[in-house]
Amino acid sequence: MVLVSVPDMEGKTNPTARYIGSRPADPASSAPRSAVAGVILAAGRSRRFGENKLLAPFKGKPLLRWVVEAALRSRLASLLVVLGHEHARVREALIDLDEEPRLSFVVNECYGRGQSTSVVAGLAAVSPASAGAMFFVGDQPLLDSSVIDRLIAAFEASDGGICYPTCDGRRGNPVIFGCRFFAELQRLSGDRGGGVVIETHPEATVPVDFSDPMPFRDIDSRSDLDLFAFGGAAGSRPAEPTTVAAALGLETSRVISLCGAGGKTSLMATLVREFASLKGERIIATATTKMASDEAHGPWRACQVMDQADALAAIGDDPDPVLAYRAVDHQRGRLLGLPTETVDAFASSGRFTRILVEADGSRRRPLKAPDAGEPVFPASTDTVIIVAGISGIGRPLDENTVFRSGRWSELTGVPASAIVTADALARVIEHPDGLARGAPPHARRVLFLNQADTPDRVAVAHQVLQALWARGRRPPERAAIGRLRPEVRICAWRASGTPDLQVSGGENGR
């Protein structure tokens, strides 16, 4: 291990970057490789995204991995990944690439002081023989090696200047800086990036024009990534979803907690089937409260475990989905779920691509109102799915229709035995003490209105969504109307970035 010194905010040097792996080989010995070193800046916190976006799954792989693999297919002499926030988790996502001789890592301990510290940490580990350094961001999953090689070719034809892509007059990433600019880059501070050096030396720039902007699009939010997953980009209209996961925008979701009533376990089973059909998925499902014992039978292998270590040992290398529970209450016919700390440990282990959690119970009623101690959400939850059964609307408010009907009355003002309305359900969905009560503040909230199996119920579900968006307090980011039995069908959905409800061929619920 080699220590690399990175200047702090006062210009002093401290050993703040740890070098992991072999030093990149001298570019001159790796012909026909170029003499350009690659540096991926992957240390930030992803504040706008709400979690570490570099680990968000995109088409079966973490976002960062797409960039790493594209760079390794190119003519780059070496590739250095600068880590920082959650560096152990990010490193684990790339652990199987350890045999790649051109790939190495640096941990920037000062990443919180701005992007400049990652630039400095990366340059400190670049081979002195490098003619230039190409700086990447880690959230451009559509970047291709052919684009990288075209930029390298343009740089090689220049006098060691600053080479970058342009499209429609806009500068993009990645950017190659000739070695003569390294010293200037190492003097950067705070959040000042390489753009400052580019603006200081306009005479040295080598813009390369591209007609297609897609390879250079980066991901700032989950909405961006949802649209990418649908094959679009910011401002585009997504195609009609073919799965419940697509309708709810779960492409990038990793720890998914379900709450509410009217089909949570059925929805969890549906999502497990959909995710399991994708290549490379490792899925575990569980509950943080209780489940009915007969729900052990599903698209998973039921497995009794006590903690994370016990679960990992029991699961081993089995790629099939697992339903994990702590114990069985034979008297009440219940599976006892796992503590939230165990679920969070699953999330931090990096062993699972999807973790699905049933966060409360509803005694198989179509609707419910939460008690003071529920739902029970793991802190690692990145997506909350609120589930409600449309069959409960139009029925009397009692315990046969609404689990904890008294609490429902308190939240909505609807008296006992009165008719449950679409507006009342909208109030319970958006109320701070409603169905998603206590959800982690960073978690997305999406809504599935289930049991829309007749034209009348589909119409009622539309009324719920209209009431939600009319109230405007905190509507879900996405919503879908559909049914899970006798077969799965999506009748309508509202996608991120689109103002209106989209209707599918299943609109009539038949």
Residue 478: domain span? 222-281+359-503
CA nearest neighbour of 485 among 244, 259, 317: 244
Q: Which has the minimum average pLDDT: 13-27, 337-351, 401-415, 474-488?
A: 13-27
Most confident region among 145-159, 260-274, 337-351, 458-472 by mean pLDDT: 260-274
- What pLDDT was estimated at residue 503? 65
- What pLDDT was estimated at residue 349? 84
201 and 245 fall within a common domain: no
Q: 304 lies in a domain? A: no
The residue-averaged pLDDT of 433-439 equals 96
CA atoms within 13 A on the CB side of 101: 6
401 and 443 fall within a common domain: yes
Is residue 355 predicted with pLDDT exceeding 50? yes
With tokens 């052990």, the residue in question is 296
**Domain harbouring 73, CATH code:** 3.90.550.10
Q: Which has the minimum average pLDDT: 102-106, 111-115, 174-178, 310-314?
A: 310-314
The residue-averaged pLDDT of 376-404 equals 97
DSSP string, 110-131: TGGG-HHHHHHHHHHHS-TT-S
228 and 116 fall within a common domain: no
8 and 155 fall within a common domain: yes
The residue-averaged pLDDT of 418-438 equals 96
Confidence at 8, pLDDT banded by 50, 70, 90: very low
With tokens 């961001």, the residue in question is 137
pTM (predicted TM-score) = 0.60
Q: 295 lies in a domain? A: no
- What pLDDT was estimated at residue 15? 38
Q: Which has the minimum average pLDDT: 178-187, 196-205, 284-293, 467-476?
A: 467-476
369 and 494 fall within a common domain: yes
Q: 393 lies in a domain? A: yes
Most confident region among 204-218, 308-322, 358-372 by mean pLDDT: 358-372
210 and 230 fall within a common domain: no
**Residue 476: how many other CB atoms lie within 10 Å:** 22
- What pLDDT was estimated at residue 11? 42
> How many Å separate Cα 156 from the centre of its chain?
37
* Alpha-carbon distances of 222 from 311, 420, 498, rounded to whole Å: 30, 34, 14
Q: Which has the minimum average pLDDT: 19-28, 88-97, 387-396?
A: 19-28
53 and 194 fall within a common domain: yes
The residue-averaged pLDDT of 144-148 equals 89
Q: 135 lies in a domain? A: yes
* Domain end position, chosen among 167, 199, 216: 216
206 and 108 fall within a common domain: yes
236 and 114 fall within a common domain: no
- Answer with the residue of higher pLDDT: 301 or 313: 301
Inter-helix orientation angle 145-156/63-72, to 10° = 50
Beta bridge partners of 167: 170
Confidence at 280, pLDDT banded by 50, 70, 90: confident
Confidence at 5, pLDDT banded by 50, 70, 90: very low
19 and 142 fall within a common domain: yes
Q: Calculate what percentage of the chain has a pLDDT beyond 70.
A: 87
Q: 315 lies in a domain? A: no
Is residue 447 predicted with pLDDT exceeding 60? yes
The predicted-structure confidence for 154-180, as pLDDT tens digits, reads as follows: 999 898 999 999 988 899 999 999 999
* Domain end position, chosen among 216, 237, 255: 216
C-beta of residue 386 within 8 angstroms of C-beta of residue 477: no
Q: 168 lies in a domain? A: yes
The residue-averaged pLDDT of 411-423 equals 96
* Domain end position, chosen among 216, 233, 259: 216
Say how many domains are in the chain.
2
Q: 297 lies in a domain? A: no
Secondary structure, 3-state, 260-322: ECCCHHHHHHHHHHHHHCCCCCCEEEEECCEEEHHHHCECEEEEECCCHHHHHHHHCCCCCCE
**Tokens matching residue 222:** 């989950």
Q: Which has the minimum average pLDDT: 191-200, 281-290, 311-320, 450-459?
A: 311-320
C-beta of residue 311 within 8 angstroms of C-beta of residue 292: no
Burial of residue 488, with CB atoms counted within 10 A of its CB: 0-12 exposed, 13-18 middle, 19 or more buried: middle
C-beta of residue 102 within 8 angstroms of C-beta of residue 76: yes
127 and 30 fall within a common domain: yes
Q: 319 lies in a domain? A: no
Is residue 102 predicted with pLDDT exceeding 90? yes
Confidence at 25, pLDDT banded by 50, 70, 90: very low
39 and 154 fall within a common domain: yes
Confidence at 12, pLDDT banded by 50, 70, 90: very low
Confidence at 32, pLDDT banded by 50, 70, 90: low
